[in-house]
């Protein structure tokens, strides 16, 4: 089974079932160190940050409000919330990944519960054609 790695990529957001996709710059935080650091010490984020694995987040020590999307193993959005600095998010059942972005950004992308996202981390990879997670996760293997 494949695993996520720290680095950059592109997030594809399916605005409507079978409809257009929005592409967003993405940073992947898969290691313990990168997930722990997250957005701490930053004044904003260009695009989105994917924390994986993660079922909850906090905003202690953050300088700005963030949108938080909880994703299941197939990268379907379970919930989207906006968190101000100094808050503790509750763990979400079935959540395996968490997306973070500047407050208000996810609404602008059309990201809402039930949407699905795709992640492209390879050079020249199209996020609309990318698998919905590390190899094997999409099929439950």
Q: What is the pTM of this model?
A: 0.84
- Cα separation, 24 vs 8, whole angstroms: 11
Cβ neighbors of 5 (< 8 A, separation 6 or more) are 28, 30, 121
Q: Beta strand pairing status for 97-102 and 21-29?
A: unpaired
Token couple for 83: 């968190």
Cβ neighbors of 94 (< 8 A, separation 6 or more) are 72, 73, 78
pLDDT per residue as tens digits for the range 18-51: 778 899 999 999 999 999 888 888 888 899 999 9
Residue 124 carries which DSSP code? T
Which regions in the chain score pLDDT beneath 70? 1-2, 123-141
């Amino acid at each position: 089974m494949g695993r996520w790695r720290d680095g950059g990529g592109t997030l594809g957001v399916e605005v409507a079932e079978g409809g257009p996709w929005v592409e967003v710059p993405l940073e992947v935080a898969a290691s313990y160190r990168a997930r722990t650091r997250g957005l701490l010490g930053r004044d904003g984020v260009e695009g989105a940050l994917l924390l994986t694995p993660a079922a909850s987040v906090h905003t202690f020590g953050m300088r700005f409000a963030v949108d938080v999307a909880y994703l299941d193993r197939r990268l379907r959005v379970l919930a989207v919330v906006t968190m101000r600095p100094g808050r503790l998010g509750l763990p979400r059942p079935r959540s395996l990944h968490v997306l973070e972005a500047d407050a208000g950004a996810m609404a602008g992308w059309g990201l809402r519960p039930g949407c699905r996202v795709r992640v492209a981390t390879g050079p020249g990879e199209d996020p609309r054609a990318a698998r919905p997670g590390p190899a094997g996760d999409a099929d439950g293997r």
